[in-house]
Structure 1
Amino acid sequence: MSTVATVAEASQHLKPLISDLGLILMTAGIAVLVFKKLKQPLVLGYLIAGFLAGNHIDFFPSVTDPKSVDVWAEIGVIILLFSLGLEFSFKKLMKVGGTASITAITQIITMVIMGFLVGQWLGWKQMDSIFLGVILSISSTTIILKTFDELGVKAQKFAGIVIGSLIVQDIVAILMMVLLSTVAVSQQFSGSELMFSVLKLVFFLIAWFVGGIFFIPTLLKKIKNLMTDEMTLIVSLALCLMMVILASNAGFSPALGAFIMGSIIAETTQAEHIEHLIKPIKDLFGAVFFVSVGMLIDPKMLYEYAFPVLILTFVTIFGQSISSTIGALISGQPLKQSVQTGMSLSQIGEFSFIIATLGMSMNVTSKFLYPVVVAVSAVTTFTTPFMVKMATPFSAYLERKLPKKWLKNITRYSTNTQAIKSASTWQVVLKAYILQIVIHTIIILAIILLSAKFVLPLVENSKFGNAITALITIIVLAPFLWALSLRRVAVKEVEILRKERKYKGPIMMMVLFRMGLAIFYIGFLLNIFFSPLIAFFALITAIAAYVFFPKKLHSQYLKIENHFLQNLNNRDIIKIDRKYASLTPWDGHMTTFKIAKESNIAGKTLLELRLREEMGINIAFIKRGEIMVKIPTKNERLFPGDEICVIGTDAQVKEFKGYLLQHEFEPPKNVEKPEIILQQLELNKVDLIGKSISQSLLREKANGMVVGIERNGKRLLNPESDLVLQKDDILWVVGDKKRMNQFFAE
């Protein structure tokens, strides 16, 4: 009886979970069909579908258990952040450069301050205002990328700045989620707590990333031959959930763990394949998340807070546009590209929902904030395509209306900024030393803390357990301690600086500081396992051993470093677009086009087309089905359906796009389709008798071809063009029925 009761109880718990999921997916499916037909963003459709399926609307079926929706929504956030991480990659962040970073940071700082002040002006609580500022500072990656695809502007340079800014915004959003969690828990703005939270986040980000890159690509490579699509999907999701658990145990949100694991896998050679496998799951749970967001919208609150929605929509559109434009100008971009960048970033989206959800889950924000944010997002989703379209004419308008002196100063500043040379030799050395210290400090501390937390409790009661554990830990740490203290970095730059007297002292101080730091970490480790006196003698012994085996430590460290760098760079090596990225340090960029089946350049060689000579365009590769032609030669032909990757500036790419359109055949509209038939005609046309088939002009005038002649009971197939036609010949002709009848009737 107890088993039956347990099964019955389980089914009661399972039923609302399954039925609510069915309702969510049904409303999402209807939204997909309707909004696809209307050519509107699907995210907006999911929000409206959730709104209609929520408990606030009685006309439509509603969910029975809101808590079950929360479960599915949390899973949706994890999968959504994992897929965002797969598209993110920390290496992309390092390659974004100053322009996108300055643009994004200027926008975020401005909008956080502006959002907070507007919230205070509206009379909202301080915590509501803080969350509002952060929510309004993050643009929507999903909406912008979809808009760029639909408008066909992804090839333009400003789009690259926008995408780079979105990458920076993503990582800053993760940072702000951690900071908001700290502020929400303490309910106060303690500078020390915020600093501790930032340092803790940086520590775990670097530790997870370095450890993940060292182990995970190697794991995936080792089991690659055993992996089917099904196993690859399961393993990647298992890794995602493992990092979710680690992040939760470390005091961070599960979404952060999912994002980190996605960014680690993004550096592996199987990233594209995993991203392809994850996409259906991302679409499924992404729809669940956005529908669940829509379910939380209360129409009464929207009516009550219509004025704040209007004000915040205005602030979002104009505040983000202006702040991003100013940021792009500060980074040294011309006026036109700055305006295009700013007006493209004028909306909020998925990260704003996640941050608003965080506030609700922690019970630190008011209930009205969530539906207000969703309403602002819905309006700005509609306005985004119009803002992108209006950017170019608006920049032209500004160029006409702004004072000539301002335009001249902007142009001069842009030119001077882009002409600035690379960092000074001292800056290069300082950056290399700081990077060396930070990365190895985090690795060393992570190993010490792991050993103290997980290994020491297992052996601390045994006689020699502490000594053995300390010895093993020092052996593991030895290569990193050597690299921290003695490894030479920026060798050429250091040699240059040593020749100048004023730099000798600072360089020596940095070397001594690194050595002292390594000794401190050895002492810190030994102090955990032993009493201070024993730790002191062990420290002397460790330093002595450390000095006597420098070559061995050097060799061991190089093996570790080479393995890490190989894992980190494997994906770059096999990606051809990264191979050619170094060819475009100016304002050139790579864009892909498809040769239309109607194009009359199909079949011609690159030598015949003279694309480089005529337009300055270089072709990086040609993709033909599953075949990739890398660095095509001048004798390579283009075929219908080929995807070609070209390298050029905005102007060159635009000219090439027009060139492709000019060389496409455009069939006339409302033209009757010819009826091609094989028909038998008796030759009684006087002006054709005595002429050869070619002289009859049958092909030119009637679009017909003689395939046979019947003469005196004999049939001649495929007659030669010089055959003379005779009276009473019966012609077998293939061609347009209407035109041939007209020709023979004349």
Structure 2
Amino acid sequence: MMKLSGPAYLFLLKRMPESWKLQLNRREHLNTLRKQKSDWFLLLKSYIIYMLELSVLILGVLIVSEKYLAPFLVVRIPQGPWAELLVVLITLLVISPFLRALTHNRSKYSGLMLNLWTAKASNRIYLILLTAIRMMLAYSAILYLMFRFLPLPTVLIIPIGIVLLVFILRSKALLKRYWRLEARFMINLNERQMEENLRKIEANQGVRNIRDMHEAHWLDNVLYTFCLRIERDSTLIGKALKDIHFREDLNLIVIRVERNKSKINVPDGSFVLTEGDILRMAGHNLVYKLIRDEQLNLNFVPDSLMTLNAFSRQETLSKAARLTCSGIPIRKESPLAGKRLVDSGLMSVNKCMVIGMERNKQRLINPGSEQEIQPCGLVWVVGEEKQVSKLISENVYQL
């Protein structure tokens, strides 16, 4: 039946009246337009709310600095410009995480931006404009602070402001600092839900499921999943996954391959790719880099970019073998403790992939095969529910 579907489609297409074709194309075009309008609405709504939240925080800090901090320091350090310089430094330290967040593509709408970017070339102008507005707001806050307190000429303040903005844009530490602040806020805001999650974790002997974690969880901030379709003439066709080195070169892993409407979860290294395969990848958001590579010839699948949390929730609606993501506490007596990933059997035996590790506040994304699984840590794995449950049982419940 599958082999006959192509010829049957071409047969009907040749004999179908032109009016029918126009009507079908018109409906498809209208559906595409409706989808784009919906994406724009969701994007702008999320964008405006996020911008207002951060702008209010930044403005509040600037007002406090001007009304209270500056007079306080000027009285105590009356000689020279040191009081004003100290005001600028303290204020910058406080608002810099918020400025970094302001210039960062938030995970909630990065998927919408990518859908709109790939859907229509004219959308890109407006998306670039939205990004430029965020940059200008951050730059304006820096300039206001410097013009207000530093007795420097404009020709010096403008380039200094640009240097500071570039530093903030490139700082991963500031972004992580903001994520920690946001996570703390989310925990306080959803205290009841967090307490319920903690009780659930305690009842499960430390086992965590990403679906039960709050949206500001660190994995949600750095780990995405997205789908790419292998097109004709791609250099990936005919290659086994072990020969492509997605993890080593791009810090990405393939957690699922869709082929002819069937899903192959957690494919091993011997899996050979063919034209039309859809790769569900997990890792950093490198969609732009991958689809720009003409040799790979990969196309982004619209609406596929999402956080790991969102993907896990989506999987619960699937009737087929579902993927799940769980954090497994590693105790000293655990069979996995002290083993390298390559020797652990997680992939070969349990059909699970390690996507993250936590230990002593240190975190790793998609660790390499030589990474050792250390006790008193947490290992985040992706796999089918049955396999993950079996792995948890062997390393937690049966000890």
Name the TM-score, length of structure 2 as normaliser: 0.36
The structure richer in strand per residue is 2
Greater radius of gyration (CA): 1
Name the TM-score, length of structure 1 as normaliser: 0.20
The structure richer in helix per residue is 1
